[in-house]
Chain A
Amino acid sequence: MSDYLDPNNEELLKDFFSEAEQQVAQLEQNILVLEHEPSNRDAIDEMFRAAHTLKGAAGTVQMKELASFTHLVEDVMDAIRNGSVQVNERIIDVLLSSIDVIKTMLKSRMEGSIYTGDISSIQNDLESFLPSKGRAKTPVGSAKPIGSKIESKKSEVEEKKPASQLGKGLSEYEILEMREVVGKDQEIYQIKVRFDESNPMNTVGGIQVFAILKNLGQVLKTDPDFEKLYEDNFYPEVIYYLATNQPITVIQDKLVIPDVVLGTTIESVPQIGTKKAGERTTPESIAPSRVGTEPQTKTHPVATEPVPFSLAKSSKPSEAGEPSAEEVSRVGRSIESPEGREPTKPSSPPAGKIAQGSILRVDSRRIDNLLNLVSEVVISKATFNQHVSQFSETLTEFQNLHAVYTERIKALFDHIVNTLQAHNMGGVAKELKSSLMDKYGDLFTLFEDFETKFKGNVARFRSTSQNLGRIAGELQEGVMRIRMVPISQIFSRFPRLVRDLSRSLQKKINLVIEGEETELDKSVIEDLLDPLIHCVRNAIDHGIEDPDERKAKGKPEEGTIHLRASNEGNLIVIEVSDDGKGIDVEAVRQRAIERGIIHPNKSLSDVEAYNLIFEPGFSTAKTVTNISGRGVGLDVVRKQIEKLNGSVTVTSEWGKGTRFIIKLPLTLAIIQGLLVRVGTERYAIPITSVIDSHRIRPSDIKSIDNYEVFNVREEVVSILRLNRLFRIPSNEQQDYYFVVIVGSGENKMGLVVDSLIGEEDVVIKPLKDGFTNVPGIAGANITGDGTVSLIIDVPQLLELGLKRELEERRRREAVIR
């Protein structure tokens, strides 16, 4: 169909895939909306639009299997839209599974192959929804009436043919009527337009011509009627009566519409001596005009006419009506599906290559903003150039002044000798002094001008550099914002997930999504999906009870899961909460003892118990479902989130519900860090994991159970000496230690450092492979003065550090013994 597709047009294909993904997501969302509100017009429209766009795009890139399947889906949606099909559960199910088919098709296209799976059953399912007969657009159903219309129209035309010798197919009265509304200077033309039936939208032509003619003058009448033209029928020939003062050639020109109009015949309608016309025109003027009709009644065979009219007409009945484009494509699907692949093959290999890169959609305003900032940077660069020249100017000035100064000083020294001699010869000191002052007094002010100038330069330089600092800050923020995408990108997947899960578990669940416009760094979002899915699954499987159980407890049958995202300072907070049964602390405790995670005697606070569910291998589910309960879920969640520099906590109320709170930094690339010094080395501790810092005396450190600990506000915190961990020689015999308390939630630890330097924005540079095994280090950072500081990986330290230092201590103790 399209000769535009260039197999190498990778960019276009890339766009196609990215957009197709969106359309599919939109389809899915709206189908789910429809499930709850079967009469939601917006959802239906949007759904239809998405299917429609997808179909069109698939056609353009010659993905026939996709285009034809989507077309079928679109048909069903259209039927829903025009109300001929009622939305029910089955339709929703079938539509959802067709979405899955579309997804698979897209996926195999992305991988460079073509989907070959059997879709006939789902196709049949879809087709079964379509009212097979009597659908306005079904070509089979409408073929006959149209055919008969054409027949009747044809005969009409033929009937009128003889009459046209007189009044061009019009009765005298009709001409008279037309004349009445027409201005004096206007001519009436009868324009016969023959339309091309092979044009995909062949029914539009009649109106298109009408619209064009309307602009030229007044369309008095059409045959068939305007109403008929407006209906979805094709007429091979339409006659228009136009009143206009434009010459025939202009009309002719305007009506050259390739693919639509095959040819036109324009004749002028004779001015019959009517009462009104007669009154207005003098006999002399009537006569020439009547005579004039003969030469004017020339036909204008149009050069572009490819098929003789008679031939085109005779071919029509054999086709028995108009095969609308829809029928063509539907027939095309059933026939072409096996062979139809061949021509598209060449285009698929590049598709496989390109689809891998992830595409980031950015609001163009953000780019504009960046561009604006960049231009400011350029300006400031120019300003700096100016400063350089100013400074070098001042330098030359200084050198000149200095030369003058040395000269003068030299002269002064000579003069002093002379003065001394004069003094010895009995000169008056006061006079000598004043003569010295006269001659060399300007030495005092020699540098004054220079100083003012230099001061001005420095001030200007300072302000420019401040300006640059501001721009750099904004630029940083701007670039960061480019990577920010709304969390709806992953939230949007949940309605379907929740629906499918709740169905398979036969629970009734209402998913409420809030704050989906909250923005997050793209890289964070990508890694966030799995943990979130785990949390939601967990809530559905373990949290929400069966409808019966809920009823018995006096809760509404339908459970609710909230998925909420919000900003909290530099953090993103994502909350997954349910109104289910909550965490059974006792069950958790029993389970933990069973699994050997805790000692049976250990007393457990609620919060500690909640945190136990994040332990590997922990599950209180009595039966393992395919959804959750294998105990591999929540520990993975915690690990993933901590990998993202975030934290996850859980709170719960028995019988009321559970709430997971995930906190994440906005971005991973730049963090706020607390710079500390250990020995000669500097380290950055991510500020998000810093709780507070203390200055303590060595005597405050106590030893319990081989752990070094100290008290913070009635809490015992174990401490870790960074110098020992990283084996950095440093003086441990200090009056004071600085301890930075780090950790998340209940997991706390004090890091002993030599001194605190301050807070700074830290740009994380990943460590090269050789160093990635260094425990406790998350990356490196280059500080303002160019030195490298390492960034401490707090979660890892919490895990590893303790073990390490314990070993270390044991070794030392062994040595002492």
Chain B
Amino acid sequence: MKTKMDFPAINDRRPEGLKEDGTPYRVLIVDDSMFVTKQIGQILTSEGFEIAGVASDGQEAIDKYKELYPNVDLVTMDITMPKMDGVTALEKIMEFDKNAKVVMISALGKQDLVKKSLLLGAKNYIVKPLDRKKVLERIVMSLKK
């Protein structure tokens, strides 16, 4: 749809968001801030990723993940959220799908929670404020590994 127009047409590099077979990676974005959600969405869609869904709290994230599964390749998970925080949601998602790829989105100063998440099975983390390059780099890396 709209995203096609945003593709940089300067080279024939394959957008990062596409798999080997040319279909896009599908990402579920979980963040209670619509602003952040949108920002991640923009970064990802510009690279050809498909936003499979968004959720604004942990519980919704779990529900969405189960609903989408297996048509979801990666989850970006905010840590501080109302109702259910990202770490708990991560735990639940990992229980449901032990191969789930979850990348935590964290603000500075949440080292302990990031550590906890990584031990619980999060593939990586991204520190806010979000930086386009890092977001892509870490998400792509989590997908490839």
Contact = CB atoms under 8 A, between A and B. Distances in A.
Contacts of A203: 111
B114 A211 contact: no
Interface stretch (B20-28, B66-74, B102-110): B102-110
A567 B114 CA distance: 46
B38 A12 contact: yes
B114 A257 contact: no
A4 B112 contact: no
A56 B115 contact: no
A56 B131 contact: no
Interface in B90-145: 106-109, 111-112, 114-115, 118-119, 121-122, 124-125, 127-134, 137-138, 141, 145
B52 interface: no
A638 interface: no
B3 interface: no
B12 to A, nearest CB: 24
A19 B118 contact: no
Given A207-B115, A208-B124, A3 B132 contact: yes
A55 B109 CA distance: 12
A56 B129 contact: yes
A714 B129 CA distance: 73
A11 B45 CA distance: 15
Contacts of B137: 258
A158 interface: no
Interface in A576-629: none
Nearest to A46: B82
A105 B135 CA distance: 29
A78 B112 CA distance: 15
B109 A326 contact: yes
Nearest to A20: B35
Nearest to A361: B34
Nearest to B32: A53
B130 A4 contact: yes
A254 B142 CA distance: 10
Most buried by B among A137, A208, A253: A208
Contacts, number: 106
Contacts of A3: 131-133
A215 to B, nearest CB: 8
Contacts of B82: 46, 49
Interface string A177-210: 0000000000000000000000011011001101
Contacts of A325: 108-109
A60 B39 contact: yes
Given A2-B130, A4-B43, A49-B80, A201 B38 contact: no
B45 to A, nearest CB: 13
A398 interface: no
A4 B115 contact: no
B131 A137 contact: no
A447 interface: no
Given A57-B33, A137-B109, A258-B137, A200 B127 contact: yes
Contact of A1 (B33, B39, B129): B129
A291 to B, nearest CB: 33
A109 to B, nearest CB: 14
Size bracket, chain B contacts: 35 or more
Nearest to A208: B118
B142 to A, nearest CB: 10
Interface residues of A, number: 42
A59 B33 CA distance: 14
B43 to A, nearest CB: 7
Most buried by A among B38, B108, B121, B131: B108
Interface string A222-252: 0000000110100000000000000000000
Contacts of A253: 145
Contacts of B129: 1-2, 56-57, 59-60
Interface in B34-54: 34-36, 38-39, 42-43
Contacts of B32: 49, 53
A500 interface: no
A204 B115 contact: yes
Given A4-B39, A4-B43, A325-B108, A19 B33 contact: yes
Given A46-B82, A57-B33, A137-B109, A12 B118 contact: no
A15 interface: yes
Nearest to A55: B107
Nearest to B120: A211
A232 B113 CA distance: 11
Contact of B80 (A11, A52, A257): A52
A493 to B, nearest CB: 21
Interface in A243-294: 253-254, 256-259
B107 A56 contact: yes
A4 B107 contact: no
A258 B137 CA distance: 8
A204 B128 contact: no
A214 interface: yes
B59 to A, nearest CB: 16
Closest 3 CB pairs of A and B: A207-B115, A60-B129, A4-B132
Given A15-B34, A256-B141, A259-B134, 15 more contacts: A2-B130, A4-B43, A49-B32, A60-B35, A200-B127, A201-B108, A201-B111, A204-B118, A207-B114, A207-B119, A208-B118, A230-B115, A232-B111, A232-B112, A326-B108
Interface of B: 32-36, 38-39, 42-43, 80-82, 106-109, 111-112, 114-115, 118-119, 121-122, 124-125, 127-134, 137-138, 141, 145
